[in-house]
Amino acid sequence: MSTRISVIGGGSITDGDGDVATAVGRELGRRGYTVVCGGRGGTMEAVCRGAKATGGTTIGILPGEDRSAANEYVDTAIATGLGHARNALVPLNGDAVIALAGSHGTLTEIGFAGIYDRPIVGLGTHDVPSVETVATPADAVDAVEDALDHRA
Amino acid sequence: MSTRISVIGGGSITDGDGDVATAVGRELGRRGYTVVCGGRGGTMEAVCRGAKATGGTTIGILPGEDRSAANEYVDTAIATGLGHARNALVPLNGDAVIALAGSHGTLTEIGFAGIYDRPIVGLGTHDVPSVETVATPADAVDAVEDALDHRA
Amino acid sequence: MSTRISVIGGGSITDGDGDVATAVGRELGRRGYTVVCGGRGGTMEAVCRGAKATGGTTIGILPGEDRSAANEYVDTAIATGLGHARNALVPLNGDAVIALAGSHGTLTEIGFAGIYDRPIVGLGTHDVPSVETVATPADAVDAVEDALDHRA
Amino acid sequence: MSTRISVIGGGSITDGDGDVATAVGRELGRRGYTVVCGGRGGTMEAVCRGAKATGGTTIGILPGEDRSAANEYVDTAIATGLGHARNALVPLNGDAVIALAGSHGTLTEIGFAGIYDRPIVGLGTHDVPSVETVATPADAVDAVEDALDHRA
């Protein structure tokens, strides 16, 4: 079972935030991780694009019933039909979580990451105590690696 | 349809936090609101106890499959069997949300309240921008009333 | 905790099927049961209308996010936002199930009733082994009473 | 996006039923389909074992929170934590469904396949009108191919 990193963040983001997400995806792909995300646009598309550019694998867990709604960089799309309750599944399916810029949905996913006891690294995201804040995409991936090593 | 206020907060809380939750419940019951909560112990039991003491009505939306797991102050228990994904349903089923002391689960519910565009009033809870912070149980109920009046 | 009977059946039904559902609801209300259903139109509205006509209580567990989508005979509406996955919650929240005419959704609910080990009485519904078939609305309520007595 | 076939059936099955499931999996793998299943034992393990033996790809959508509970022949395990409500996701994530021997859970999945308008082919499963009955594993795969061709 390959190690999976869930990347969470908003569906509507700035170009700058998209660049950060893509950089995170590139770094994850380069290091051989599978990216888990919500499968749609914004952060989700940007991180998957980055991961695919460096040979990574991507899983998108969608809120709707149509798996063809996944962005084009998703390798395995899972339709849930659960609406926003699917947010629980995104951190659950990663071994650790990287949280990027986002709004209410991202906050739910940070909370679920805490419930499921996943390490959470944040880059430009909500300032809550369960999140370890870092400064760059490479730092984010370093930090999740450290957290996973420490637990292993 | 009576107005419903969802009250969210931890399942394992201090006695002081329990007193706050009970006071919030008493105030909600006195003013005729229906309390929606997660149906179990801690904050959930304390707020329901308060609401019943002043003639209120309570709904508990449970994570498990057994509705008899609801605390004894729940009038209508709904079993979901969804585990933590049931957190989405607690704020969804209120017209506004009062957030009390809690941990990761409470954070998910604050996020879902934001997704579903519910006003959120906080009393000793997470410090996030979507929450309007107040100082006392009566202030909390005043603030949700103001928020609902303002929207009506 | 009052005894609850889940009534399942199609959302688009014939007038004759609606009359059967209303008669089942009247019988359940008369005997003091709480009716649990999917909260919307067709069978769900007809059974709730019947139950309210004889003083019963009704719970509607809705697929969507808007609890105001419940039919007017629902006392307590629970919005789930889960889409069709909410079908699991309808039999789960009753002590026994009466299955009326319906299609695929009703079949899922018969299956969940079996999973959750609820007695299932059928009147003009799918012909599957887990369903005890009866001939009239009064027979249906007699049969669920017998099944619940036998288990108690 | 490769074509996916959901295979549903009981978690506790006879050796003979397991042989059928494995034969279905082998046929699906040989013809290049991705198998979607519930990810656990019984039918789910048998069909995945067959699919992997002939070079197929497998997805397992699990009821619990631990993706390591997937059987060893699952390539991509998705944990849901939804309990039995996850049954909705198994047929939803296939383009067509093959139903094998099973009990209540299989019945819910046949119902969801109908809700989501998936062709359903049955081999030794529930006798309900939405299921097209066939006699052999190869016939089952032929029948889903015909159904998908007919729709395309």
Instruction: Tell me phi and psi for residue C57, to 5 degrees.
Output: -120, 145
User: Bridge partners of B35?
Assistant: B5, B58
Report yes or no: A128 at the B interface, CB cutoff 8 Å: yes
Positions of chain A with pLDDT lower than 70, given as ranges: 1
Query: C-alpha A106: how far from its chain's center?
Result: 10
pLDDT tens string C116-126? 999 999 999 99
Nearest CA to B123 among B1, B3, B7, B2?
A: B7
Q: Give the mean pLDDT of chain D.
A: 97
Per-residue pLDDT at B47 exceeds 80: yes
- Rounded-to-integer distance, Cα B53 and Cα A74, Å: 53
Report yes or no: B78 at the D interface, CB cutoff 8 Å: no
- Rounded-to-integer distance, Cα D4 and Cα A152, Å: 35
With residues binned 3-state (H G I as helix, E B as strand, rest as coil), the percentages for chain A, rounded to 5, are 45, 20, 40
Q: How many CB atoms lie within 10 A of CB C134?
A: 18
Runs of H (alpha helix) within A78-136? 89-92, 104-115
Give the model's pLDDT for residue D113: 98
pLDDT tens string D61-85? 999 999 999 999 999 999 999 999 9
Report yes or no: D108 at the C interface, CB cutoff 8 Å: yes
Contact of B102 with B127, CB cutoff 8 Å = no
The partner residue sitting opposite C112, judged by closest CB among D89, D108, D115, is D108
For chain A, the straight-line distance linking the first and the last C-alpha, in angstroms and rounded, comes to 15
Give the model's pLDDT for residue C1: 60
Residue B134: which residues within 8 A CB-CB, separation 6 or more? B121, B122, B123, B140, B142, B143
Q: Do D61 and A78 touch (CB under 8 A)?
A: yes
Place B121 in a pLDDT band, splitting at 50, 70 and 90.
very high
What percent of chain B is modeled with pLDDT above 70? 99
Contacts of C83 in chain A (CB under 8 A): 65, 81-83
pTM over 0.90: yes
- Rounded-to-integer distance, Cα A116 and Cα B38, Å: 18
Contacts of C82 in chain B (CB under 8 A): 82
Contacts of B67 in chain C (CB under 8 A): 1, 93
Q: Do B65 and D83 touch (CB under 8 A)?
A: yes
| Pairing relationship of beta strands A34-37 and C132-133 according to DSSP bridges | unpaired
Contact of B67 with C93, CB cutoff 8 Å = yes
Contacts of D76 in chain A (CB under 8 A): 59, 76
In degrees, rounded to 5, the angle at the alpha carbon of residue D37 between the alpha carbons of residues D35 and D42 is 115
Give the model's pLDDT for residue D152: 83
Instruction: Tell me phi and psi for residue C24, to 5 degrees.
Output: -65, -45
- Rounded-to-integer distance, Cα D51 and Cα D58, Å: 7
Contact of C110 with C128, CB cutoff 8 Å = yes
To the nearest whole angstrom, how far is the Cα of B132 from the nearest Cα of chain A?
Answer: 15
What percent of chain A is modeled with pLDDT above 70? 99
Q: Which residue of C has its CA nearest to B72?
A: C1
Q: How many CB atoms lie within 10 A of CB B79?
A: 23
Q: How many CB atoms lie within 10 A of CB D117?
A: 9
The predicted complex's ipTM stands at 0.97
To the nearest whole angstrom, how far is the Cα of A115 from the nearest Cα of chain C?
Answer: 21
Give the model's pLDDT for residue A1: 60
Per-residue pLDDT at B1 exceeds 70: no
pLDDT tens string C61-106? 999 999 999 999 999 999 999 999 999 999 999 999 999 999 999 9
Per-residue pLDDT at B112 exceeds 90: yes
Q: Do C92 and B65 touch (CB under 8 A)?
A: yes
Query: C-alpha D42: how far from its chain's center?
Result: 11
Instruction: Tell me phi and psi for residue C109, to 5 degrees.
Output: -70, -35
The partner residue sitting opposite D84, judged by closest CB among B81, B84, B85, is B81
pLDDT in tens, chain D (152 residues): 689 999 999 999 999 999 999 999 999 999 999 999 999 999 999 999 999 999 999 999 999 999 999 999 999 999 999 999 999 999 999 999 999 999 999 999 999 999 999 999 999 999 999 999 999 999 999 999 999 999 88
Q: Do D83 and B84 touch (CB under 8 A)?
A: no
